Every structure is written in structure tokens, then in C-alpha cells.
Structure 1
């Protein structure tokens, strides 16, 4: 197996290519930053990617807002090796970093997320990824694997969002509109203004679609504000706020026969349960978030950044069997102080900090009578708290070596109360679940070879307590026996550039060993609950590279990203059945994404992307498998400056151009073998962006 991984990795370096190093560009690929210039924020060092001893995936504004026509995060994230974003129905996101979605029937868990240094993940371990609009983002960094030494609990990884970059002494306004198949329509406006001591970005975006399947319409409105103000030479105050109003219908999963007969159908009724249309199944979600950041620089060697934030969520979910109404109130903060010692015998940077998160949830379940909340079934409150204290040191050693060592202390707890709803019910009683504090170390060693090549190895540990949706699942009750996951990751990587910076490559091989792995189960009605599944062993190889061809009238980039995995259960007993050595469901053994990016001086640009996933298991027993995924996407556009102040961008984009019948997201371990959620057939959309700057 190791020889197989090594051979494929070598072939990937020689013959494949990747756009991961591209930076957004206003007019030409000539502005692309190459590997030895790209700066990443991961692990708080703000170093070149070449000098970062970790696997980090990068997406720039062009990757997020130009390569694909439909404005969602999903297709761009799926170009990164080791990252998989699902969309079971429009607006229903699930994100996996190195297979971390095996415990997520919906939503984003086991991943930490930040926007402009401010935590987005709540104390219950949930991240509202579908509350963000890709059109308000300028850059994403994905740290793959456990990063608990700096970002706290989680065994999957960390995702860092950045807003749009605001040029100094420039102001601009951009309006946009798009439309396409299945009733797709969207519009937006972006205002940016930059001064010597401030930068402000205000964005409003709307998106709606009738959906490909029955009962799969979506409507989303997003408003975001980001401002940064230099109130003194040493002090900067930043504000981030956003509001998201999202409603999407949930058609539900189909079994294989239903999927093949009519992939556009919603989940039908059965003799004992109504269908999705009859119950008006869907999600109503409103999220408000406000955070303030304060950065103070004592001198060029010491600085501190402290953030505080609050969030509020109103959530309603009419489901097949019930109607859930939930309110979440989040509060938290994070502080980081960095000390630099550039003139010591061994130059070093020391980072110390802490993070505290708290979420209070009121959750009530009702009967669902054709989309209307009926008789109350449960009335519950849940309090979640999570804290992290961390220390990291980075030391430059002789012979071009750099050592990074980190350590964090993490703990968490839940408090649960169920209130009586009828006479004779047990009185309200507070139940608690405390997870003992754990220490998470990380050690990484990197060596550079000249200006263009580096290699690293790392050992990192992760810890992931059950999320609030796992200790209090839709099946009801409070699970006091569910244990936290523990993991250790071993990784070695090589990255660099050659041939006058035309060829770029990045290869990483890793092994993640998890204990007390959390997996999903479903009861007869389809409501989920969670159990610990013993150990898992997760081997993977990620390879990416790109090659640029430059000529007088433009530039071409050929790129390819390859992910190979061998994820298996160890010591996993399900009742009387031994599932040890079975493949972990939902993780494709081979994922290959290849593409071509082109820009020409008259203003023409084109992007072509092909994704292939070979079949993977859909349940723990490995009794059902997906079909191969072959997805071709393309965008053709024309961007031109109109005088000194105006810019016009026209584009047309196609998705699923091979017209495949496939699922972008499966329901794993689904009751009744309802694994399948059909994604749209071949569809076309077109859009326009008009900007003015002064």
C-alpha cells in the first residue's frame, strides 16, 4: 500500500497541476503570486507557504468568485485536496476535511472556523457555513488535520475566512446580477472605501432558486460589514458583523430504486410516515453576528490581538416526524499575544493566548401537521462551554531548519434541562456532562532547500468533544455516555517550484489514528443518534501541482489535485457484527480534480474543471456504494475596463456539462437505504458585474 501511494504521488508531481497558489487578479494571470511569495496566516506566523510546516489549502477571490458561476462555497472547496463539501439540497452544506464528516448527517462539525480572526464555530462545535455568502469573501485558508495547539478542539482541521481586500486611498462600488436554470436568480452590491487610517467593506447579496428536485427551493439574503480603523499608530480596532436570512426546502433522501426511477422526486410517503412535500420539510434559519477586534502593538516585537463576539440564531425545522424550533445565543472571545526575538542566537517567535466560547440553546419539539407546529413534545435547554489556553514557539535553527512546538489545554462541558410539558411528567432536572481537560501537543520540523523547495514533518494531536447536536440529537434526550474523540496525526510533506516558477508542486502523506470515533445512527423514523465506534486508522496522500504557459497575448495554467485515502475502522463492533477493517463511509478512495485556467489580454478568460470520485461506501457495513462521480464545469467570460473608472464583467457558466445523474451529498447509514440526494442535471447560468472606482 505504501508503494502504491508513493508511486501515485510521484506521478502526480510529474504530470499534474494545481491552482492553489493563485491570488485573485483584476485583469490577468500575470499578477499571480508564486509559491515562494504566498503568505499564509495559519499558526499565527504570517509566513510564506514555503516556510509553513503544515498542509494548508488556499482559495483566492478568483477561485471563489470567478472559476465557477453559481455563487456558493461548495465547488471551490472541492478543488482542494483532502477537502470535500457536500450540498444534499441547495443551502444544506456539509464539509469534511480529511474525512471529518463521518459524524455529520448535516451541518459542519469537528472543524473550527474563523472570519478575520473571529471565531465562527460555537461552543457546541457547530459552524454555520451556509450563513456565509461567497461573494463577500476574498480568501480562504484550510488547515488540514488536527490544529489543537493553536485553535483548540477538533480533529478535522481549521478553516480561516478573510473578507474582501480594500485598497488604500480607493473607493469602489460593484453591482452584480445572475440568472440560470431551475429558477436561479441572484443580485448583489458591494461597497468598499479605503483611507490611510480606515478600510470599510459593505456587502449585500441575494440568491434564490426553484431547485432541481421537488421540495428543494432556496432563498438566501446576506448582509455583511467589515471595518478596520487605525485609531493611533499602535492601535487598530476592527468590526465584523453579518446577518443571514436563509430558507431552504429539504426533499429528503431516496432509495436506489426511487433514485433511478425519478431522481427529481422528493422523499415519498410510506404506509407509516408522510412524505417531504406533505410535511413541508425545510429549514428556516436567521443568524446575526457581531464581533470587535482590538490590536495593540507595543513595539515591533510585541503585539496583542483580542476579539469578543456575540451571535444569535433563530432556527426552525419542519421534519417528517416533528417540528423543531431552536434559539441559540453565543458569546465568546479570543486573545493572542505574540513575542518576537529576531536578534537572539536562535531567532524565535512565541505565541500565547486563550479562547472561551459559550452557547445557550432553547430547543422545543412539536408535532408537525403539514408544515405547522402542533402539540409540544419536548421543552429543553442546553448550555455549552468550551475553553482553550495555548502556547506556541517557533525557532529558527542552523542549516535552514525551523522548529515549531505548541501545546494547548482544552476542556468543555454541557448542562441540559428538560422541562415537564404535561401533568405527571418528571420535574425539571439539570444533567451535566463534563469532559476532563486534555493537553494537546504539536511538533513540526521544516527545512528549506534554496529559495524554492521545502520539506516538513509534523506530529499533532486532536481532541473533539461531541457537538451539541450529538449530545442532544433529533432523536431526543441527552446522551451522557458519548465520549470525546482523540486523535494523533503523523505527516510528511514536500512543496516547491521549478522551471523558472512555472511548475509548482505540493505533496503530503499522513496517517491519522482516532480513538472513540463518533459515528451516526438512525432510528426507525429516521431521527439520528450517535455512538462511539472504537478506533479508526486514516491513511492519505494529497498531491497538487500546476504548470503555467505564458505567451504574448495571455497565459494558461494547467492544474490537477489528487487525493488518495485508505480510511478504515479498527476494533468496531456493531451488535453481534464485527465491522473492523471496513472502509469508513462517505470518503472516496480516489478523488481527482483537474482543470485549465486561461486569460487573454483582450479581456477573455475561461475556466474548465473536471472532478472524478470513484465509488465509496455509504454505510458502515460497506453493503452499499456510491456510483462514480464525473463532473465537468466550465466558465467563459469577458472583462474589460471602460475608461479609467468603470469595469464590466460578463460571463456564462455551465455545471454538470456531461449531464450525469449523481449525488453531491449522500445520507450515510440512512434508514430504509435512503442514501441518494440527486444533484441538478446539466444547467447553465449567466451573470454580469459592473464596477466603478474612484
Structure 2
């Protein structure tokens, strides 16, 4: 811990010395943002009213490999992506969701305003090509009343905005280590009252580890048309088809000796998953006048998933549908929103015996059926907010949401007394929020209090016998936050800082009792305290050259207030799965629109691996560099080339970990998902304007 504290001190001293030196050199310079950055302004902030949020734009994402979305998201303080593989990602915000084994839950996710979180709260961010993104917006904690009020918060994915009057065809081709090939082909047309975007993407890679291949094809269509003077229609279709081999987690010995190994049982079974995912949405907006607007959306999702695993074979599909309607306007000199969101899905899953041990080394082989289940899941959110300017500098906002969640489980495999069909209707929960924003000369100060919740996941709702757990409750919590956003030195230096405390009761814990079985329970109470800081400076050196250092820092002090597990009392222990200190920093050297060089760094403190706080992963530092150059070949044809090198010093580090892992059959527990060794990527972009 002494080592990590020293590193933090040195980074703060380094960054502030840069900021002080640049500020003294040129306090009066005006920053000329390039057109790529300005493009972000066309994407309207989605967080309602004065609700604070953080954003990533195109230039932030383009610092990294086009398949490395985790590094881009990790620039946001308070948010951490644990990525075990391209298809195994767990996003945590302020420690919420850190204990989930293999996926992202306890937060809500939207794609162009369409909810993409399923009926049990799971979001699959790997179903989207980040080369199509224009802005990613994150609301941390349950203060986003109109966006679900989940304890973790909300992530809003937005595609690139239309550029009115432009029609072009663009192709980006990238190759890299581990036989990686990626291609993104896009056609975009925009005119007054109409725009169309068509995109096809392909990705394939062998991966860093054994049994780690990944192949994905995707198609994206977005369009907007003005139907009449006060109305428009937006259309969205996203389709993804991917097959991913699964190396799974490994034990300490394998991680230290050869991080490229796959888990022996997953390698023997040649475990993999295939996913076919479709999202379709239709939104209609009507502007009654300048002060009143209503937007209503309907959507449909479909997921077909097949996954041979060492312990069984899972075959499932999910149909989901719903609507979202939002009325925005002004009344009594204040801004209001009122809306409703309904999401329903039908989840069907079967399991089969995996006969890979009797398949002559050829991997998984489907055997006898073990189960046949169906679950109907419904979630209704009603919400409203009202923001009023109390004084010329002080604005207050109040919000109230109501959530109603229902699960209906059907056992289609067993008869009579062995049938485990059951229903679980959670009580409606009220979720109030209050926020204040005070404007000062160089920025704003804000404060907010919000109540949030998290629904139990599938494993948590069912007992090991497949019966709905009648005792499981939703997690509930209250978040308190103080913060400020400042622009100094003629807007060259931006500072965002926040302190928070979140008290969560009825904490959901997925306890592993067998290789393929978990049971959920409400374990007690946790306290999440933290500090977040984001700094970004832009200094014009001379001519068109600019130097842009940045730093984000997250301090997480999360602990159990009350947690008794059988004979073990973990009250007062730190919450496992969360690094106490995390730093994400970088420096960019940019010349107008044609050249940029980026050096980025990530420090992640050690992560506790069990509730007893007796085991932890090792802290690590990762450095990446990338460069990009753009030029015009003709008036209509533009060329861009890029190159990047990741993990410069070939560090062996855990990019994801499992909490409270248990070894079965005498095997050592498998805690670690190794990160990629040193690797490169390079690519070329051609853009033809018509």
C-alpha cells in the first residue's frame, strides 16, 4: 500500500506542475477545438436537468485499439471495467456490481435512448461496435431519476450525430496482434429533415490465451426523418452475431507461470458461446411548442444464446419488448419531465449433459436434457422531475420514480410434486431524489441525494433446486454527493471533483455452492465512500500544436457495515472486488485535425479477492501509446492511418478477478483473468465525400 500511495503522490505533483507551468506561460490563450471535438456538441446531454454526468467523445475512444472499449470507459473516475475477455465484461460504478461473477448488472444502459438492459438487470456492452459511437454519457449512482434510478447508475451509448449537408462512404480497416482483423464500413447521408446511417462491422481474433478466439459480424441502421413541421421519426436496428471461445479464469500458479493458459476443464470441453442479438426501436417526437415536447419509443430485442460449458450445455433465447415515453416542458417558470418505461421479456432456457469427456478429445457434445425452463419478467418505471431556478445562481431539482418488478418462473421439465414453478412479485418501491446547483464565477457547485435499487439476477432469484427464492429482496440504497465543475485559465483547465457516500441495505450476494450453481441472498449492509477527481488541460504551444494532459483519480473506501455469513462475521471488513486507488492519466500532442500522439497510463491498486480480506490481487501499471495521422488525397477523398502499442512493458496483470472463488474436486480456486501481453494494432481509414 505504501508503494501505491507514493505513485499517487508523484502523479499529482507531476500533473499540477505541468498545469502551473503552462498556465504561467499563456493565461490568455484561446483554445481552438478541432472539428471532431466540436461534433460532440450536436449530441444533446441525455441526463435530465441539472443531473451531473460524465462524457467520453470520439477523440477519447480513438486513443485505443478499436476493440479495447474497456480502456476508454476506464478514463471515467468511479467507473471500472473488469474485462475477462471480449465477451466477458463486468462494469462497476462506485463499487456497485463488483461482486457479480461474469456480467454487468445493477446499472441501466441505453442505446440511442432505447433501454438495452434485460429483465433481471443485465447489460451486454459487448453487443455494440464502439467505432460507431459518438458519445458515451455516464450518470454515477441513483440520481438519474428518469433513467431507472439503479444503484450503479446509467450508461448512455449514442451513435455519431448527423452532419447536415454531407454524404460520404467510410471504411476503417485494422489489423493487430493475435491475428486480429477488424473492418467497419459506413455510409452516411444527411440533409435538412432526413439522415441515414448504415454500418457493417467484422471482427476476428485468436486472442491472447488458449481457447480465446472471437469472431463477430454486426449491422447498424439509424435514420431520422422529419414527418411534419413539428414532428420527426427515428428508427434504429442493431444486429450482432458472434462466436467466442471461453478460456475462463485460472488459478494463482497458472497466472504466474503462463497467463496464456486456459482453465483445463474449459480447454478440454472447448467451451464457447454463440450469440445472435437484435435490437429494433422506433421513436416519435412531437414539439407542441418551444416549451413542450413528447418523445415516445417502442422497441424489441431478441437474443439467441448457446453455450457448451464443462458442467453442462446451456441453450437459451430471450424475447423482449416495451415502450418509453417522456414528456418535457416548462411550467410555472420551471422545467419538468414526466414519463413511463415498461420492459417485458420472456426468457427460455434448457440445459443438457455435456459429454465432452466421451468425445475423443473433440470438445463438447450435447447429451441428455437436464432442464427446461421459462421465465416471464416485467419491470415498470414511472418517473417525474421538476427543476426550478430559485435565484439567478441557484437551481433546485426534485424527482420521484416508482418501480414495480415481477418474475413468473415456469418449470417445463418436471411434473407434479417435482415441478418448481413459482411467481415473485416485488413490492413497488418509491425512489425520490433532490439536487441543487449553484453557479460561481468559474463553474458550478452541486449537491444531490437520491434513493436507488437493484433487482436480483437470475441466479439470485432461484435456489439450487430451481425454485424461486421467496426470501430474496431488492437491494436498496441512498446516495449522498457533493461536487463541483470548474473551468480555469481561460477555459484551458477543467476540474471535476466529487465526494459521495452510498449506504446500501439488503446487499445481494451470489454465493457459489457448486461449479455451476449459485444461490442469492441478502447479506447485510454496506457503506460506499469515495472521492473522484478529473483534470484536463489544453495548452496551445505554437501554431496549430496543442498539448493536452489529463488525469482521473478514484478513491474507494467501501466496507461491510453488517455482514454475517454462517459462523463468520465480516462486519467492518472492506468490500471485496474494488481497488481502493485507481489512476487513469494521459498526455496528447495534437496538431489541428491531422496529427495526434497519445501516451496513456492506468494504475489499479490491489483488489481484495474474498470477504475475509485475506487474499488480494497485485496492483499494476499499464502504459499504452497510439498515433494517428489524417490527410486529404483529393477534395473528396481523405486518408487516415493509425498505430498503437498496448502494455508497453509486457506486464502480467489481472484484467478481471472473481470474488470468493472456490476450488472443486481438490483443485485450486481460479481467481484470475489475465490481461493481454504486449500487443499492437495499426489501421487505415478511407473517407469519400459525394
TM-score, normalised via structure 2 length: 0.91
Instruction: Choose which of 595, 599, 621 in structure 2 pairs with 1:608.
Output: 599
Asked whether 1:297 is paired with 2:293, we answer: no
Post-superposition shift, 1:426? 3.4
Residue 210 of structure 2: aligned partner? 214
Asked whether 1:540 is paired with 2:540, we answer: no
Instruction: Supply the distance in 1 between the matched residues of 2:233 and 2:453 (Cα, whole angstroms).
Output: 32
Instruction: Choose which of 268, 275, 297 in structure 2 pairs with 1:307.
Output: 297
* More off after superposition, 644-653 vs 464-473: 464-473
Asked whether 1:283 is paired with 2:288, we answer: no
Post-superposition shift, 1:678? 1.2
Q: Is the 8 A contact 1:415 1:432 kept in 2?
A: yes
Counting only pairs closer than 5 Å after superposition, residues 446-485 of structure 1 correspond to structure 2 as 446-450=437-441, 452-472=442-462, 476-485=466-475
Instruction: Supply the distance in 1 between the matched residues of 2:67 and 2:464 (Cα, whole angstroms).
Output: 31
Asked whether 1:503 is paired with 2:499, we answer: no
Asked whether 1:557 is paired with 2:548, we answer: yes
Instruction: Supply the distance in 1 between the matched residues of 2:54 and 2:478 (Cα, whole angstroms).
Output: 20
Cα offsets for 1:430-473 (capped at 9, x unmatched): 311111001100000010013x3110011011011213353248
Q: Is the 8 A contact 2:112 2:157 kept in 1?
A: yes
* More off after superposition, 363-372 vs 382-391: 363-372
Asked whether 1:633 is paired with 2:624, we answer: yes
Residue 25 of structure 1: aligned partner? none
Post-superposition shift, 1:126? 1.5
Residue 225 of structure 1: aligned partner? 221
Residue 417 of structure 1: aligned partner? 410
Q: Is the 8 A contact 2:117 2:123 kept in 1?
A: yes
Asked whether 1:591 is paired with 2:582, we answer: yes
* More off after superposition, 499-508 vs 598-607: 598-607
Counting only pairs closer than 5 Å after superposition, residues 110-509 of structure 1 correspond to structure 2 as 110-147=106-143, 149-268=145-264, 275-341=265-331, 344=332, 347-370=333-356, 371-421=364-414, 426=417, 428=419, 430-450=421-441, 452-472=442-462, 476-509=466-499
Q: Is the 8 A contact 1:148 1:463 kept in 2?
A: no
Instruction: Choose which of 69, 90, 94 in structure 1 pairs with 2:90.
Output: 94
Post-superposition shift, 1:668? 1.6
Instruction: Supply the distance in 2 between the matched residues of 1:153 and 1:317 (Cα, whole angstroms).
Output: 32
Cα offsets for 1:29-64 (capped at 9, x unmatched): 544769x9898524333xxxxxx342x221111212
Residue 49 of structure 1: aligned partner? none
Secondary structure at the residue paired with 2:514?
coil
Secondary structure at the residue paired with 1:277?
helix
Residue 24 of structure 1: aligned partner? none
Secondary structure at the residue paired with 1:572?
strand
Q: Is the 8 A contact 2:204 2:215 kept in 1?
A: yes
Residue 22 of structure 1: aligned partner? none
Gaps of 5+ in 1: 18-27, 46-51, 269-274
Post-superposition shift, 1:528? 2.9
Gaps of 5+ in 2: 20-31, 357-363, 664-668
Asked whether 1:58 is paired with 2:62, we answer: no
Secondary structure at the residue paired with 2:126?
helix
Post-superposition shift, 1:99? 1.3
Post-superposition shift, 1:643? 2.4
Q: Is the 8 A contact 1:276 1:319 kept in 2?
A: yes
Q: Is the 8 A contact 1:102 1:520 kept in 2?
A: no
Instruction: Supply the distance in 1 between the matched residues of 2:243 and 2:520 (Cα, whole angstroms).
Output: 27
Secondary structure at the residue paired with 1:668?
coil
- The higher-RCO structure (CA 8 Å, 6+ apart) is 1
Counting only pairs closer than 5 Å after superposition, residues 644-683 of structure 1 correspond to structure 2 as 644-672=635-663, 673-683=669-679
Post-superposition shift, 1:315? 0.7
Secondary structure at the residue paired with 2:97?
helix
* More off after superposition, 471-480 vs 602-611: 471-480
Instruction: Choose which of 39, 60, 70 in structure 2 pairs with 1:74.
Output: 70
Tell me: CA distance 1:393–1:16, structure 2 relative to 1, closer, same or farther (3 Å): farther
Q: How many residues align?
A: 658
Secondary structure at the residue paired with 1:494?
strand
Instruction: Supply the distance in 2 between the matched residues of 1:503 and 1:527 (Cα, whole angstroms).
Output: 51
Residue 693 of structure 1: aligned partner? 689
Cα offsets for 1:91-112 (capped at 9, x unmatched): 2111111112224211211111
Cα offsets for 1:223-256 (capped at 9, x unmatched): 1111111011111100111101111111121111
Cα offsets for 1:106-139 (capped at 9, x unmatched): 1211111111111111222121211111011111
Post-superposition shift, 1:576? 0.4
Tell me: CA distance 1:44–1:677, structure 2 relative to 1, closer, same or farther (3 Å): same
- List, as ranges, runs of 4+ consecutive aligned residues in structure 1 with deviation greater than 6 Å: 7-13, 36-39
Tell me: CA distance 1:406–1:655, structure 2 relative to 1, closer, same or farther (3 Å): same
Residue 24 of structure 2: aligned partner? none
Secondary structure at the residue paired with 2:85?
coil
Instruction: Supply the distance in 2 between the matched residues of 1:602 and 1:13 (Cα, whole angstroms).
Output: 25
Cα offsets for 1:57-107 (capped at 9, x unmatched): 21111212x110233321100111011112102321111111122242112
TM-score, normalised via structure 1 length: 0.91
Tell me: CA distance 1:16–1:160, structure 2 relative to 1, closer, same or farther (3 Å): farther
Instruction: Supply the distance in 1 between the matched residues of 2:391 and 2:532 (Cα, whole angstroms).
Output: 29
Instruction: Supply the distance in 2 between the matched residues of 1:461 and 1:373 (Cα, whole angstroms).
Output: 46
Instruction: Supply the distance in 2 between the matched residues of 1:474 and 1:664 (Cα, whole angstroms).
Output: 30
Post-superposition shift, 1:622? 1.3
